[in-house]
Amino acid sequence: MEEVKVITPEELQKRVENGEELHLVDVREDEEVAEGMIPTAKHIRMNDIPANLDYFDKDKEYIFICRSGRRSENVCYYLQEQGYKVTNMAGGMLEWEGKTVNK
């Protein structure tokens, strides 16, 4: 199994603040997202990913986010096997120090 690409919360924060067009997907549960999420992230719960494959474009890269980086890593492995370009935010929202919005 091919390793999943990783980005640190600090690297991602810089890219967000620079206004880069990023495709962020938060895979946490509703109650976790209610505590705040990265402003430009789309919320698709981990268990809903297989039913939402039509949302993803194989020509774009997606950065996946969860609470600690574990669930998003699992999602990355799953989608990478389907041929998608994915990156996992290591450490998850526990290590995110950037801006958040409440959903």
- Structural tokens at position 71: 């669930």
Residue matched to tokens 């958040």: 100
Residue from 33, 66, 76, 89 carrying the catalytic annotation: 66
Say whether 89 sits in a helix, a strand or coil. Answer: strand
Q: Which residues contact 64 (CB under 8 A, 6 or more apart)?
A: 24, 25, 26, 27, 72, 73, 75, 76, 79, 86, 87, 88, 89
Asked whether the beta carbons of 87 and 9 are under 8 A apart, the reply is no
Tell me if residue 76 is catalytic: no
| Residues carrying an active site annotation | 66
